[in-house]
Amino acid sequence: MSRWGVAVVVILGVVVGLAVYLRTHESRPTAEQARRLSAVGCRAAQAAFAVHASGRWLTVHATVSRLLPDSDGRYRHQRFIVRCRSGQTLLIVNDISIGQRVPVARGDAVTVRGQYVWDAEGGLIHFTHHDPAGGTGGWILRHGRVYAVGSSGAAVDNCPDKEVDNAPALCIGGA
């Protein structure tokens, strides 16, 4: 095989390897997974709350009941409260210095993937964004769009003609 042939094979190998790596290190769900996860309700959060557990990764589907001001500190966080059908409330803490702001409104149905932290008021969910260290990450699904950031740290935009409040998002279900 010539030098050019070897170079082409090596380049193709690197491209394929990179594609496999990026595909296996994404934390966003596929369209089908997002639809299926929307049916989970708040069972996992209710179970974690009952035993005062923290640190569990879970997914909840609930309704936005209250919008709170952003918290400013070392990192900026978007905050809102969701209410489960059971009445349990959860504070969603979305780090917008790493992840994307989600244009939620009171009454919106959202599915949230993140890490649960117990508190007496129902608990909170944070890490609703990719993990910059490459581990498990979270996301927020609203109106058929998954808000997260790609593993490269760049905003994901698979539907460039469909932006909400200038926040690119991954289209789900062909939207």
Segment 50-106, tens digit of pLDDT = 999 999 999 999 999 999 999 988 889 999 999 999 999 999 999 998 888 999 999
Q: What is the pLDDT of residue 8?
A: 57
**What is the structure's pLDDT at 135?**
77
d(CA 134, CA 110): 25
Q: Are 102 and 78 in contact (CB under 8 A)?
A: yes
Specify the number of domains making up the chain: 1
Our measurement of the distance from residue 21's CA atom to the centroid of its chain's CA atoms, rounded to an integer in Å, reads 19
pLDDT (mean) for 146-163: 47
Residue 129 CB: number of other CB atoms within 10 A?
A: 23
CATH code: domain of residue 21: 2.40.50.200
Say how many CA atoms lie within 13 Å of 22 toward its Cβ: 13
For 109-141, how does the pLDDT look when each residue is reduced to its tens digit (9 = 90+)? 999 999 999 999 999 999 998 888 877 789 999
**Would the pTM count as exceeding 0.85?**
no
User: Using one digit for the tens of pLDDT, what is the confidence trace for 16-60?
Assistant: 554 444 444 445 666 566 667 667 789 999 999 999 999 999 999
Range of the domain at 137: 3-171
